[in-house]
Amino acid sequence: MIDFNSGTELPNKFLGSEKKTTLLYNNEIYMIKFPDPIRDKNNTLSYMNNQFSEHIGCRIFRVCGLSAQETILGAYTDKTGRKKIVVGCKDFTQDGTTLYECSKLANAIVTVDEKIKATIENVRLIIQETDFIKDKTGATTQFWDMFVVDALLGNNDRHLDNWGFLSKDNEFSPAPVYDCGSSLGALLSDDQMRRLLDDEIEFNSIEYNTKSCYSLNGQRIFYHKIFKTPPNELNEAIRRITPRIDLELVKETVLSTEGISDIRKEYLIKSLTVRYERILAPALKQILKRQG
Ligand SMILES: Nc1ncnc2c1ncn2[C@@H]1O[C@H](COP(=O)(O)OP(=O)(O)OP(=O)(O)O)[C@@H](O)[C@H]1O
Ligand SMILES: [Mg+2]
């Protein structure tokens, strides 16, 4: 594993739910994400495994043919002398482009004192009403393709700050996928994973019953439900993306990850397989059957 302390610290340019560090490493700028502390008193873990989920999640996006940030796992000793495994996310704005998270575009549809909610209706409206987004079809494709892979990852955190557009000279294009840190069992300890692997009912209730952070028609979306009766845009995305998913390559992505236990690998592979085989693959089969 690489040592990020050999990089040069730069003034930090990234915000987010937890503090970040910005480094120049191998002549590239990286946002360093640390294991996030856990605020829930009922969770016995002291730190999340979000750095591994970030790395594996972004790699799976790329394996599925979508553009996602490049990540590297590495060691980093902080100023207090504590050594941690962190993930370095290569800054995709270092060429002078600006990232506009979708939430920043909400001005097109809400007044200044309204908080924008994560709903499918709002995503459609933002794309429709933001004049800077010229390619409406491209932006719709971007969101729904990401939705399909998020269903595979069981990601419930793709809120409006966690995807967006890159802009250069006010020309908007889809930004690479970033922030997959809350997916892929990031809040589970190895012991919990070991127990869940022996408890089919509990395993399915956590890993099959996953929710998106979006609501549609006033109801929070369960991935397994919306894939049974997909709206048109999702229907198209399932047809585009599902045939591109090579489950063996996805498994290989997990197996080749440094720094995680065999139990975590087994758990992630089982959960990805369950969602692929019980949510994504049947949805594609149903769509192709309807087509005749
Ligand atoms: N590779 C990248 N290049 C440029 N900007 C990025 C990149 N990744 C993230 N960002 C920006 O940094 C912000 C924080 O990153 P991110 O969303 O990954 O962290 P976070 O929300 O704190 O993560 P988590 O929810 O896992 O704690 C993002 O909202 C985005 O504005
Ligand atoms: Mg985020």
- Please give the mean pLDDT across all residues of the chain: 94
Ligand with the closest atom to the CA of 177 = 1
Q: What does the pLDDT read at residue 112?
A: 66
Residue to mutate (ligand 1; options 13, 31, 51, 182; most atoms within 8 A of CB): 31
The residue nearest atom 20 of ligand 1, judged by CA position, is: 16
Residue 156 has pLDDT above 90, yes or no: yes
162 lines ligand 1 (CB under 6 A): yes
Instruction: Parse the chain into domains and list their residue ranges.
Output: 2-95+176-291
Radius of gyration of the chain (CA): 19
Q: 2-95+176-291: which CATH topology?
A: 1.10.1070
- The region of weakest confidence among 84-98, 109-123, 164-178 is 109-123
**For the CA of 49, the nearest ligand:** 1
pLDDT at 198: 97
Report the alpha-carbon distance of residue 48 to residue 34 in Å, rounded. 9
Write out pLDDT tens, residues 10-58: 999 998 777 899 999 999 999 999 998 877 777 777 788 999 999 999 9
Cα distance between the two ends of the chain: 50
Residue 53 in contact with ligand 1 by CB distance below 6 A: no
For residue 181, which of 103, 69, 290 has the smallest C-alpha distance? 69
